[in-house]
Structure 1
Amino acid sequence: MFQIEKSHTHTSIEVQRAAASETGAEIVAFSRDNVLNMLTELVESMEVVCSRNVFAQLSTQEIQEAVTSWYELAYTSLRSIQDILRHLPTGSAPAGPAARKKVDAGALGMTEREYQLATLLAHSMSLKDIAHYWGVSEKTVRNHLANVSRKLNCQDRVQIVLYALRAGWVELES
């Protein structure tokens, strides 16, 4: 009743084929549309079920199958996004190292400012220096620091710096 087509393998092959012949921007556009279509299908099917109170009319097994289909579609969408990132040419502007690092930070739910904060801390800037650099109060920087700590599951600034180094957001200077 709620079977959603599983096309991860097909999508992966399409991404690989596009990566061999297209620019990074074209791959992103192609793949973005593909993933958006899958996610739209997921949301629409969930809205139909919830708006019609269909769950009241379904058996436990049918409900489990529907939830499993939604989960599989969401998982397939995430795998497609990973395929997109893996197959983008490294030399292209949208898929260069800096863009991939920001995508990695974005996947963690970090904002641009939070990503910047982690990299500035890794470059030995104090909170006061960062506040001056951004033109904001030190309290604002501390709020960003709290968000970064929570999102990266780090207890202090040293752990944030280590995380940034391990993630490749910054490199050690010789």
Structure 2
Amino acid sequence: MNIQPHFDGAGPFIDGMAVVNIGKKSGYIDRTGKIVINLQFDDAGSFTDGMAPVQIGEKWGFIDKTGKIAINPQFDEVNAFTEGMSAVSVDKKWGFIDKTGKIVINPQFDGVGVFSEGMATLLLGGKVGFINTTGKIVVNPQFDKANAFKLGVAGVIVDSKLGYIDKNGIYVWNPMN
């Protein structure tokens, strides 16, 4: 189906809806092009796990698929929900909330990635490590860069050399050029 262009911007269809923009406001359309959530947000992201990030004023929160505010805008930045949690920034520190908006990992890190296989990257003191879903640091920050875990391993870079570690931080493939 073709949707006639009358939006200033549009994102991809995810879970049957796409973010659209007209001027400085964002909302959502369905696959027929019908506006299903009014263009009322200052910015918006795609739905994942039934929730979408929205910005109202300077703060970010989340809506459900009906457009109802599910988590009040109170965060400086947010990421999409993965594995039931979203990374959130408060006063330039990152932590995680659950789908009720409860902080489950206090904002304490300089940066974080998304959860994959129960682990997320963390940035602390310029180095990258990994935390589990309780916020426990399970692999100390020691890498220059790191990818998310896939099939039980994560790619890590130290001194421009690529290696792979397991979830205990043990190399399964030592760093090399």
State whether TM-score is above 0.5: no
Greater strand share, 1 or 2? 2
Considering only CA atoms, is the larger Rg found in Structure 1 or Structure 2?
1
TM range (shorter): under 0.3
Greater helix share, 1 or 2? 1
Could you say which structure has the greater relative contact order, defined with CA pairs below 8 angstroms and 6 or more residues apart?
Answer: 1
- What TM-score, normalized to structure 2? 0.26
